[in-house]
């Protein structure tokens, strides 16, 4: 018997999943994180808070298993959350979270030399953040740019020099040719500040002896290169064949599908992560649960959903956005929200919004197919909205695809599966 561990660093919590050699979830623990510090365009969090939460969740999980059976650990984290570290892993300030937007000017500058099909030309990208830190005088020789998963993996193995191909994508890494591109020289970065990049799931090294002793883990426990949180969630769902798709019904609506070729369309926010020998192609709409919460409480959504008859579609064709502007599946910064005409019955109003979101999901998969991705063979639904049966039935009518239940919804399980997939 062997056990594998996945560590998932989110915004609000760290989760640790333990799975056995049959991919069965043995234990799941959680430790809360302090809220990020937000002020205007700024969104920061202390990396030391990540490590504290990681230790708490890890100790809890290890107290419920036979620690001597743990053979591998992998870490996932939020995409494009960036920090500067020295060679010993000491953070040189707070981490800039994925939704930090201060690098507006740097993102515009990147458009002058970064190819249009890269994932770096937005203020939220890792590379734009790195250039912002450079312009603030915080980037100098001897420092390295790391993501959440990179830094936690570094803490576990005692080396802070590597990233994985999925996290490095928004730092400018060329995932197709598997190298740092020539154009990145225009960024005039100090030598050594970009990490070595390896495929997700690759062996990085064994756990550091003193960390192994701290947690009571075997000294030959392997640290495996991790991935982004969304990719880990996809892996956890059980989707693994070409055409398998996952829709995340969270605050926003995100769709991902497994393709045999990469697709990049930066204007629509479509990009691809390597996943084994295939590619995970995805896009995100501005619609989603955040729109529903503008009009209804969770309790109201649950009660009104029971009044909906999914067999009788209203076809009111709303544009359910919080504010003007959409990127995917339609790229139109001036697209206006629309919630008219509004029915007298609140249940009908909720149904009209859910139908319109399902239509956006349908258009999203069609847009990816038009760009060269497969049509969805199956769809697994994750996120809070996946529990709404009325919405599920509406979506099934519109999408005309096989709907499957995800095997797991926790990204930490996906990281654990990544750890288990590596053969030493």
- Encode pLDDT of 251-287 as tens digits: 889 999 999 999 999 888 899 999 999 999 999 999 9
- Encode pLDDT of 143-202 as tens digits: 999 999 999 999 999 999 999 999 999 999 999 999 999 999 999 999 999 999 999 999
| Distance from C-alpha of 57 to C-alpha of 10, rounded to nearest angstrom | 13
Is 356 within the bounds of a domain? yes
- Encode pLDDT of 8-39 as tens digits: 998 889 999 999 999 999 999 999 999 999 99
Is 144 within the bounds of a domain? yes
| Distance from C-alpha of 183 to C-alpha of 165, rounded to nearest angstrom | 18
- Encode pLDDT of 97-123 as tens digits: 998 999 999 999 999 999 988 999 889
Looking at per-residue confidence, does 1 or 292 come out higher? 292
Kindly report the pTM of this predicted structure: 0.92
Same domain, 336 and 282: yes
Is 7 within the bounds of a domain? yes
Confidence check: pLDDT of 422 > 80: no
Same domain, 223 and 258: no
Same domain, 264 and 214: no
Give me the pLDDT at residue 51, please: 98
Same domain, 210 and 246: no
- Encode pLDDT of 279-333 as tens digits: 999 999 999 999 999 999 999 999 999 999 999 999 999 999 999 999 899 989 8
> Which residue is listed with tokens 């830094």?
151
**In sequence order, what are the residues at sequence separation of 6 or more whose Cβ sits closer than 8 angstroms to the Cβ of residue 78?**
9, 10, 11, 97, 98, 148, 228, 229
| Distance from C-alpha of 417 to C-alpha of 225, rounded to nearest angstrom | 12
Same domain, 186 and 275: no
Same domain, 347 and 220: no
Residue 250 pLDDT grade (very low, low, confident, very high; cuts 50, 70, 90): confident
Is 236 within the bounds of a domain? no
Give me the pLDDT at residue 424, please: 43
Percent of the chain with pLDDT over 70: 100
Which structural domain range is residue 292 located in?
241-406
Same domain, 32 and 173: yes
Same domain, 279 and 376: yes
Angle (CA) 58-61-65 rounded to 5° is 130
Is 26 within the bounds of a domain? yes
| Distance from C-alpha of 99 to C-alpha of 251, rounded to nearest angstrom | 14
Same domain, 271 and 355: yes
Same domain, 190 and 327: no
pLDDT (average), residues 216-245: 96
Q: Cα separations (Å) of 363 from 84, 348, 350, 357?
A: 39, 22, 20, 10
Q: Domains in the chain: how many in total?
A: 2
| Distance from C-alpha of 2 to C-alpha of 70, rounded to nearest angstrom | 6
Among 285, 294, 284, smallest CA distance to 349 is for: 294
Q: What is the CA radius of gyration of the chain?
A: 21
Same domain, 146 and 262: no
- Residue 237, classed as helix, strand or coil, is helix
Same domain, 38 and 10: yes
Is 168 within the bounds of a domain? yes
Domain with residue 95: its CATH number is 3.30.420.40
CB 76 within 8 A of CB 227: yes
10 Å CB burial of residue 1 (0-12, 13-18, 19+) is exposed
Residue 400 pLDDT grade (very low, low, confident, very high; cuts 50, 70, 90): confident
Confidence check: pLDDT of 423 > 70: no
Is 183 within the bounds of a domain? yes
Q: For the chain, give the mean pLDDT.
A: 95
Is 102 within the bounds of a domain? yes
Give me the pLDDT at residue 45, please: 96
């Amino acid at each position: 018997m062997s056990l594998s561990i996945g560590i998932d660093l989110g915004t609000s919590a760290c989760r640790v999943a333990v799975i056995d050699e049959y991919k069965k979830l043995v234990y799941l623990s959680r430790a809360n994180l302090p809220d990020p510090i937000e002020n205007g365009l700024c969104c920061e969090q202390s990396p030391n808070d990540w490590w504290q939460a990681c230790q708490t969740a890890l100790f809890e999980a290890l107290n419920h298993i036979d620690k001597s059976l743990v053979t591998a650990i992998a870490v996932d984290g939020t995409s494009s959350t960036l920090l500067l570290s020295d060679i010993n892993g000491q953070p040189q300030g707070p981490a800039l979270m994925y939704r930090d937007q201060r690098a507006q000017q740097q993102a515009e500058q990147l458009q002058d030399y970064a190819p249009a099909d890269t994932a770096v030309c937005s203020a939220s990208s890792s590379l734009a953040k790195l250039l912002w830190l450079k312009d603030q005088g915080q980037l100098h020789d001897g420092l390295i740019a790391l993501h959440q998963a990179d830094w936690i993996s570094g803490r576990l193995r005692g080396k802070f020099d590597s990233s994985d191909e999925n996290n490095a994508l928004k730092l400018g890494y060329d995932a197709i040719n598997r190298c740092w591109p020539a154009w990145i020289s225009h960024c005039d970065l100090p030598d050594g500040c970009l990490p070595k990049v390896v495929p997700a799931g690759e062996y990085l090294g064994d756990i550091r002896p003193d960390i192994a002793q701290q947690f009571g883990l075997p000294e030959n426990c392997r640290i495996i290169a991790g991935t982004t949180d969304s990719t880990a969630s996809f892996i956890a769902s059980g989707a693994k064949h070409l055409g398998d798709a996952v829709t995340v019904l969270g605050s926003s609506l995100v769709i991902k599908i497994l393709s045999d070729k990469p697709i990049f369309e930066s204007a629509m926010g479509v990009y691809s992560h390597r996943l084994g020998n295939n590619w995970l192609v995805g896009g995100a709409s501005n619609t989603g649960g955040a729109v529903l919460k503008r009009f209804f409480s969770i309790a109201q959504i649950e009660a009104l959903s029971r009044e909906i008859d999914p067999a009788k579609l209203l076809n009111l064709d709303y544009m359910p956005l919080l504010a003007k502007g959409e990127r995917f599946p339609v790229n139109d910064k001036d697209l206006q929200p629309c919630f008219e005409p509004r029915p007298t019955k609140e249940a009908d109003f909720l149904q009209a919004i859910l139908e319109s979101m399902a239509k956006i999901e349908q258009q999203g998969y069609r847009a990816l197919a038009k760009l060269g991705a497969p049509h969805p063979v199956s769809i697994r639904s994750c996120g809070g909205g996946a529990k709404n049966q009325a919405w599920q039935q509406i979506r099934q009518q519109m999408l005309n695809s096989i709907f499957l239940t995800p095997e797991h919804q926790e990204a930490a399980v996906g990281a654990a599966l990544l750890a288990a997939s590596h053969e030493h």
